[in-house]
Amino acid sequence: MSKPPKDLIIEPLLLAATRVSTFDGNRLLTGASGFFFEREGRLFLVTSRHVVIDEPSKHFPDRIEIELHTDASNLTCSTGLSILLYREGKSVWRQGKDPGGEIDVASNSSGRRCRSQSSCGASRRRICSMCSKRWKSAPHC
């Protein structure tokens, strides 16, 4: 496979959205989407609340994985970031609210201030977004 031209321009808005996969341990549950939002130097992942918990359908993941692009000139290069949803039995994500009460929005502060797995519960795995295999284990990587 050929690499994209160096002068390729990537729309920044496309990099603000990410795929979100939910897991119970190692078992894949669902796929969803989210977007990144920055405020006061902190990076937040925002998604629908029903992605991280949904009592009516008995959807109770313990972690999510998001895909992050690692090469601005080659969007097939990415890494996965696994984020625990609970620490010591308490959610690390926040429920969105408005004047009418809770809404179907959840956010999780991660990324920029995330330094290590022990400090934030996140771990990284490099994947190829073309085939979802580990980076460099696929013949085209």
Indicate the pTM of the whole model.
0.67
Fold topology of 12-128:
Thrombin, subunit H (2.40.10)
What count of other Cβ atoms lies within 10 Å of the Cβ of residue 85?
20
Each residue's pLDDT tens digit, 1-14: 555 556 666 666 66
Please enumerate in sequence order all residues whose Cβ is within 8 A of that of 18, keeping only pairs 6 or more positions apart, or say none.
Answer: 33, 34, 35, 36, 45, 66, 67, 68
Each residue's pLDDT tens digit, 39-88: 888 888 889 999 999 999 999 999 999 988 777 777 777 888 888 899 88
Q: Cα–Cα distance between 32 and 22 in angstroms, integer? A: 8
Q: Are 65 and 81 in contact (CB under 8 A)?
A: yes
- Is a pLDDT exceeding 70 seen at residue 110? no
Domain boundaries, the chain: 12-128
